Chain A
Amino acid sequence: MTEPTSPLRQALLHESGLKHATGEARYVDDWPAPPGMLVAQVVTSRVAHAKLQRVDASAALAVKGVVAVLTAKDVPGTNDVGPVIHDEELFAHDTVRFLGQSIAVVIGESYEACRAGVAAVKVELEALPAVLSIDQAIEHQSYLSRDHRLTRGDSKAALANAPVRFQGEVVTGGQDHFYLETQCTLAIPEEGPALRLISSTQHPSEVQTIVAHVLGWGRHQLVVEVPRMGGGFGGKETQAAPYAAMAALGALKTGRPVKVWLNRDQDMMWTGKRHPFKTRFDVGFSTDGQLLALEAELFADAGFSTDLSRAILDRALFHIDNGYFIPDVTVTGHLAKTNLPSNTAFRGFGGPQGMAVIEDIMSRAAERLGLEASALRRKNFYGAAPRNVTPFWQEVKDCRLERLFSELLSTSEYTRRLGEVAGFNQAHRHAKRGLAITPVKFGISFTTSFLNQAGAFVVVYADGSVQLNHGGTEMGQGLHTKMLAVCAHELGVRPERVRVMTTATDKVPNTSATAASSGSDLNGFAVKHAAETVRERLRPVAAKLLGVAGDAAKALVFENGRVFLPSTPAQAVPFEKVTHEAYLAQVSLSATGYYRTPDIHFDRATGRGKPFHYFAYGAAVSEVEVSGLTGEHRLRRVDLLADVGASLVPSIDKGQVEGAFIQGWGWLTCEELRVDDKGFLRTHSPDTYKVPAFGDAPVDFRVALLENAPQDGTIHGSKAVGEPPLMLALSAVAALRHAVSAFGKPGREVVLPMPCTPETVLFAVEAARRP
C-alpha cells in the first residue's frame, strides 16, 4: 500500500479515541482539585412563578463548611446572563419565573456542607399564576416575540383554488440534550484581578463576555478554556454561562478556586431544552399529489426568557419547506413565553421542528390521496426555475435530492421491500411493518450573518512539531480530528506531529459558538489560512536548502514531513530541517488565520435574503415493526445516504450521521418531557427520561456518504454534517405511520402525535382499526 499523501479524506480514528478508552481523557470535573477548591450548590425556586419576598441566608452561613452564600445583591456588574436579549437574571431578585430558577448559590468546602446550606436558606415566595404550556400561553396571549413571517405568492387564493385542501395540527415535543457530562465550570483566581475558567461550553467567548458583564470586568481579565466536552448538542452554547458566572463570582468573593457542577437531576430540571412546537396548517394539493399552497402558524415554547429562541424560530420557518417547492406560501411564527426553563439550541436549532411539519403533511397527503408516499415526496422536490425558490426567496442551486433518492431507493431495495412489507402485513394481525423514505435539505450558516467568522493560530516550533489552536470546541463531533487533518495537509506534515490545543479565549479571541454545524466550515478555512501563511514563509527557506531558484520554488511540495520538487521526490528535505533553518534565518513560525463566509444576508423585516451559504442534503429509508397489542415498535433496518460534499474525514462524518439519526429517533419516539401542573419536570433523570439505548439502534444499520459530490466554496469541497442527519429520523415516523395505517382501511389519515411512544402508537392503531 502506498502511503497517503495527506490525512485528508482518510478513515482517521478520533484524535482522542484511545484516551477516551483508557480514561485518560480529562473533562472539567476530572481536573485535579486546585488547593483550597470550594464547590457549590444552587438555591432554586420551588415554584414556577412567584414574587420573591425575602431571601435570608444567615442560617446557611452558620452551617459548618459553608463559606459564602451569594445572591443578586452580590453581583458587582450586571445581574444578567441573557446572550442576545438581556432578559435573563443570573439570580432572581424580585420575581421567579420557573421552577428551578437560581436564587442564590451556596459555596462551601464540600457538597454535603453546601446541601445543608441550601436547606438552611430561607426563601419566601408569593405564588403567582403560571403559564405552563403553549396552549396556556396562547390563551393568555403570553409571547416573547410575534409574527416572524415568510411569504411568497398568494397562499390565500391558491388554497381556495386547490382541488384537495386539508387542515391539521402538528405537535413535536421538547428534548433534553442528555449530554453524558453535565454542566461544569471550574474558576481559578489568577493575578490581576483575573480568573481562569475551565468550562464545558460550546461558546467560550460568550462565557467570557457574560462573566465579564456579571463581574463588571473587561474581557481581558478572563481566560476561558475548554478542554473537551462530554457532549454538547447545543445544550452548552448558552446554558453553560450562568453556572460559569456563579463559579467566577464565587471565586472572586472567596479568593479561592470554585467549581460549579450540576448533577443529572439539576441539569435536567434547570437547563433549557429543545423547543416544543405546535403548528396549525392549511395545505392544498392537486389530486395527483402536487403541493400547491401552504399556510402555517408555528408556536414555539421559548420558556421564561428569550435566549436564542428568535433565531431558532426563524430556522424552523426556514425549514418548513424541507426539500419541497411550495408555489404559494405564508408561514408565521410566535414565541410563547411560559414559566419553564428557557429553551435553547439543540442540534438542528428549530430546523427539525419545521421539517417535522412538512413531512407530517406529506405523509397525511399520501394517506388521504392513497398515493405511494415516496413518489409523492419526490414529485415535489425543488427543481429548475421557477421551481427553485424557497419561502425566503433564496434560490436552491444544485438540489441533490433527486440524485439521493434514486441512489437510495435502489441501494435500499425499496420497491422490493415495499412488497415484502405488504405481504407481511397481510399475514399478521397483531404486528405490522412500515417502510418509508424521506429527504432532508438543511441550510448551512448562522442565520445571524455576522457570526459566520472564525480564527485560528498555528504555531510551528523549530523542531518541526506543530501546535494548532482554533476557535472551535470539541464535544465529540470530531472537529479537532478534522482540523488536525486540514492543518497537517496544509503544512505537509504527518498528523502525529500536530497537537490540537485546548480551546482558549487567549489564543483565538472573539470566536463564535461551535454550533450550526459550522465548526469545520468556518474553522477549517481559518486553520488553512494560518497554516498556509506559515508554509509560504517556509517555502523560500526550503527552496534555498534544495538549491531551487526563482519560480521553481512555487512547485515545491510539502508532504508527509518532507519538502521536494514533484520531479525529484527522492531529493527531499525534512520538514524539521526547514523549520530549524527558518528559525535561524529569523523567520516567524507562527501565524493566525481568519475566515468569514462571503455573501450571506437576510432581512428579517421583509423575510427575504440569502441566509445560507449552501444546503446540505440527505435521505433515509426506515423499516419498522409495530405491535398492535402494546404499541411497542422496533427499527428493523435503516439505510442512510448523506451529502457531506467531499468529506474531510469520512470515518468521522459517518459517525456523525448515524449518531444524529439515533438522537433524532429518540426525540421522535421515546424521549418525553412530562411537566406537571406545578411546572415540575417529572421526567428529570434517565430513570424516567429514556434516550435510545443500545438495543434501540437497528442491527441492520447501513450508512453511506454521497460519492463524488464536492461543494463549491467550502473547505476542500466538504459540507457540514453535525445537524442535518438528525432530521433523517423523520423517515422512521413516516414508516410508523405506514405501519399503523396497515391496521386499518386504506385512504384514511393516521392520527399519530410525536413523540411516538408505545402509548401514542397503540392509540393510533386503535383509531385506525375503528370501522
Chain B
Amino acid sequence: MARRAQLGQSLPPMNTLRFNLNGQWIEESGLAPTTTLLRYLRDVRGLTGTKEGCAEGDCGACSVAVVENGPDGAPAYRAVNACLLLLPMVQGKHVVTVEALKQGEAYHPAQQAMAAALGSQCGYCTPGIVMSLFEATYRKDLKQPWQLDDQLCGNLCRCTGYRPIRDAATAVAGTCPKDAFVAALPASRPTSMAFHREDEGQLFVTPTTFDELWAVLDEHPDARFVVGGTDLSLEITKRFQVPPRLISLEGLSELHTLREGATHLLGSGATLSELEDFSAARLPPVHRMLRYFAARQIKHRGTVGGNLCTASPIGDLPPVLISLGATAVLRSRRGERRLALEDFFTGYRKTALEPKEVLIGVEVPALPPTTRAAAYKVSKRRELDISAVSAGMLVEVSAANVVTRARLAFGGMAATTKRAAHAEAALLGQAWTEAAVELAAKAMANDFTPMSDHRGSAPYRSLVAANLLRGFFDETSVTPQPRLAPGHAATVLTHEEVRHD
C-alpha cells in the first residue's frame, strides 16, 4: 500500500506503461505499445493461465478482469478479452488474471464451483470462464436469467455442452462474498490513462484534454483514433498490421457521458455495457439490441463511437439509433456541428468525419411511451454473432389509428445502414393495420438489393427484412415498446418475445 501511494505521488514519465497486475504495480518502457495484454501476460510474464483461442474476441479463453468504474460509480471487476487489449488500454488500471484467484490454499468460489460442477473437460476454456464467473460473483445487478447467458456468451466451450457451466454460474453469480477482492476494490479505482510514446516510427498517445488532442492532431493529422479497440485491434492481432500512429480517446472523460434529458446524450466513449444499463428504462429498443450485441467482454470495451465510426453496414447500433431519430455531434478545433445520424454515414465504411474531427456522441430524443419502437437482430447464432439483418423500427400512430411517422432502418441490406423509404411511404397516412403492413412489406422489395455472403443469401435477407416488419406489427400490437420478456432470453420473434401470454 505504502509503495503504491508513493508511486502515485511521483508519477512515472508519460512514456512509461504503468498498470497493476495481480496486486503489483508494473512499469514497462521497452515494449511496443501495440503489444496486446495477452501476449504480454504469456510471453513476458509467463502467466500462461490466460489462453489464446482466437485472438479476435470471439472465444473468451483470454478473459481477464480489469477494474473499471461501475454503473453506480463504484469500482467493479469487468471481464474483458486480453487478446484485444493493447497495453496502453490498461494504463493506470488494475488487472487480475486467473493465477491470482486462489489465495493461499483457498480456491476462489468461481474455481470451486467450476470443479465441483465438472464444468471443465479439456480445461482450455476454463480459465476464461472462471474470469467471467469472477466478474459475475461480484455483480449486484443480476436479476434475470438471461443475464447469465449474457455474462457467459463470450466464452466458448467445445467440450461440456455448457450445462455444468450454467450450474457453476448459478452457484456463484451475484453472491458478492466479502472477500479480499472486494476489500481491494476501493483502492483499485482506475487512475489517469495519460500516455505518450513516440519511438521507432510508432506513436501512441492517450490525451486527457481536448487541447492536448488538437495539438497531437495538428502534429499528426493522419493518426488514427482508437477507443475500445474491439474493432481496430483486430488489424494487429489478425492481419498483423500495426498502425503507425494511434490516438486513444479513452482518456477524455467528457466522451464517457450518458446524460438523460428530453434528448438523451450518448457519449461516443460510453461503453456498450454502460449504454445497456442506461437504455434499459429509457430506450428499450437500444437495450434489446445490446442484449444481442457481441458479448459482455466486448461490450465492456466497445463504445458507441467505435460502433458508429467504423460505419459498418452490419453494425448494430446504426439501425436502431437512426430509427429513433438520432443526431450525431462532431467536434474539431474549429467547433461543433450536428448531423442527422443517417447523413453521418456516407458510404461503405465511410463517415462524414473530416480529418482532425471526432465524434462526441449522439443525441437521441426521449421515447414517449406511446411510440411504437423496437429493434431486431437476426444472425446465424443468437449470441456473439454479426447480423445477417438488423433493424430499428419506429412508428407513431394517431388516435385515429393513422400512421403519422415511420422510420424503418436496416443493417445488412445495403452498403450502409439504410432506411426503407418505399416501405415507410407505404405506411405513412395509412391505417396501422395488418393489410397496410403487408403492402409496406411488399414495397420493401424496392428499397434493397442486398448481397449474398456466408451470413445470408440475398433472398434470405430480403425475406427476413420484410418479415421483421410483419413481426414488428404483431409485437407492437401487444405493447408499444417490447422489452426482453422476463425470464426469457428467447430469440427475436419466437413466441417467447412476440406474445406475452
Q: Which of A629, A662, A688 gathers most chain B CB within 10 Å?
A: A629
Interface presence of A703 (CB below 8 A): yes
Q: Mark A302-344, 1 if CB is under 8 A from B, else 0.
A: 0000000000000000000000000000000000000000000
Q: Which residues of B contact A744 (CB under 8 A)?
A: none
Residue of B nearest to A111 (CB): B240
Report the separation of the CA atoms of residues A263 and B53 in the bound assembly, to the nearest whole angstrom: 8
Docked-complex contact A691 and B163, CB < 8 angstroms: no
Distance to closest chain B CB from A580 (angstroms):
30
Distance to closest chain B CB from A48 (angstroms):
18
Docked-complex contact A687 and B58, CB < 8 angstroms: yes
Report the separation of the CA atoms of residues A655 and B464 in the bound assembly, to the nearest whole angstrom: 37
Residue of A nearest to B384 (CB): A693
A685 CB contact (under 8 Å) in B54, B112, B492, B499: B54
Q: Which residues of B contact A24 (CB under 8 A)?
A: 49
Distance to closest chain B CB from A458 (angstroms):
25
B381 CB contact (under 8 Å) in A18, A26, A27, A690: A690
Distance to closest chain A CB from B32 (angstroms):
10
Docked-complex contact B122 and A181, CB < 8 angstroms: yes
Docked-complex contact B162 and A697, CB < 8 angstroms: yes
Docked-complex contact A180 and B111, CB < 8 angstroms: no
Q: A18-B111, A21-B120, A759-B460 are in contact. Are A659 and B380 (CB under 8 A)?
A: no
Interface presence of B102 (CB below 8 A): yes
Interface presence of A627 (CB below 8 A): yes
A20 CB contact (under 8 Å) in B56, B126, B382, B470: B126
Chain B residues within 8 Å of chain A by Cβ, number = 89
Report the separation of the CA atoms of residues A476 and B492 in the bound assembly, to the nearest whole angstrom: 34
Report the separation of the CA atoms of residues A631 and B153 in the bound assembly, to the nearest whole angstrom: 21
Docked-complex contact A670 and B381, CB < 8 angstroms: yes
B158 CB contact (under 8 Å) in A19, A228, A233: A233
Interface residues of B in 3-52 (CB under 8 A from A): 42, 46-52
Interface residue stretch chosen among B93-101, B203-211, B212-220:
B93-101
Interface presence of A127 (CB below 8 A): no
Q: Which residues of B contact A692 (CB under 8 A)?
A: 161-162, 381
Report the separation of the CA atoms of residues A285 and B474 in the bound assembly, to the nearest whole angstrom: 43
At the interface, is chain A mostly helix, strand, loop or mixed?
loop
Docked-complex contact B498 and A663, CB < 8 angstroms: no
Residue of A nearest to B57 (CB): A687
Q: Which of A179, A180, A430, A703 gathers most chain B CB within 10 Å?
A: A180
Residue of A nearest to B131 (CB): A23
Q: A264-B53, A630-B467, A762-B464 are in contact. Are A178 and B162 (CB under 8 A)?
A: no
Docked-complex contact A14 and B162, CB < 8 angstroms: no
Q: Mark B460-471, 1 if CB is under 8 A from A, else 0.
A: 100110011011
Interface residues of A in 668-687 (CB under 8 A from B): 670, 672, 674, 682-683, 685-687
Docked-complex contact B491 and A634, CB < 8 angstroms: yes
A658 CB contact (under 8 Å) in B61, B160, B240: B160
Report the separation of the CA atoms of residues A680 and B490 in the bound assembly, to the nearest whole angstrom: 34
Q: Which residues of B contact A23 (CB under 8 A)?
A: 47-50, 97-99, 127, 130
Distance to closest chain A CB from B65 (angstroms):
13
Interface presence of B403 (CB below 8 A): no
Distance to closest chain A CB from B21 (angstroms):
14
Q: Mark A731-760, 1 if CB is under 8 A from B, else 0.
A: 000000000000000000000000001110
Docked-complex contact A180 and B124, CB < 8 angstroms: yes
Report the separation of the CA atoms of residues A89 and B112 in the bound assembly, to the nearest whole angstrom: 47
Q: Which of B46, B97, B467 gathers most chain A CB within 10 Å?
A: B467
Q: Which residues of B contact A703 (CB under 8 A)?
A: 163
Interface residues of B in 421-463 (CB under 8 A from A): 453-457, 460, 463
Docked-complex contact A178 and B494, CB < 8 angstroms: no
Q: Which residues of A contact B224 (CB under 8 A)?
A: none
Report the separation of the CA atoms of residues A17 and B114 in the bound assembly, to the nearest whole angstrom: 8
Q: Which residues of B contact A658 (CB under 8 A)?
A: 160-161, 163-164
B59 CB contact (under 8 Å) in A672, A686, A697: A686
Interface presence of A395 (CB below 8 A): no
Interface presence of B484 (CB below 8 A): no
Docked-complex contact B464 and A659, CB < 8 angstroms: no
Report the separation of the CA atoms of residues A662 and B381 in the bound assembly, to the nearest whole angstrom: 14
Q: Which residues of B contact A14 (CB under 8 A)?
A: 115, 118, 120-121, 123
Distance to closest chain A CB from B434 (angstroms):
11
Distance to closest chain B CB from A637 (angstroms):
12
Distance to closest chain A CB from B121 (angstroms):
4
Interface residues of B in 155-186 (CB under 8 A from A): 155-166
Docked-complex contact A180 and B50, CB < 8 angstroms: no
B383 CB contact (under 8 Å) in A659, A695, A757: A695
Docked-complex contact A32 and B454, CB < 8 angstroms: no
Distance to closest chain A CB from B477 (angstroms):
12
Residue of B nearest to A760 (CB): B460
Q: Which residues of A contact B464 (CB under 8 A)?
A: 629-631, 762
Distance to closest chain A CB from B46 (angstroms):
7
Q: Which residues of B contact A694 (CB under 8 A)?
A: 149, 152-153, 155, 157, 162, 165-166, 383
A634 CB contact (under 8 Å) in B48, B55, B490: B490
Residue of A nearest to B386 (CB): A687
Interface presence of A189 (CB below 8 A): no
Interface presence of A478 (CB below 8 A): yes
Interface presence of B397 (CB below 8 A): no
A-B pairs with the 3 shortest C-beta distances?
A: A23-B49, A476-B122, A230-B124
**Additional 7 contacts, C-beta under 8 A, given A229-B122, A626-B494, A686-B54:** A21-B120, A22-B101, A22-B107, A179-B122, A430-B471, A630-B471, A695-B149
Q: List 17 A-B contacts (CB under 8 A).
A: A20-B126, A21-B110, A21-B123, A22-B107, A29-B48, A115-B240, A428-B495, A431-B495, A477-B121, A625-B496, A629-B467, A630-B467, A632-B493, A687-B54, A694-B165, A696-B382, A758-B388
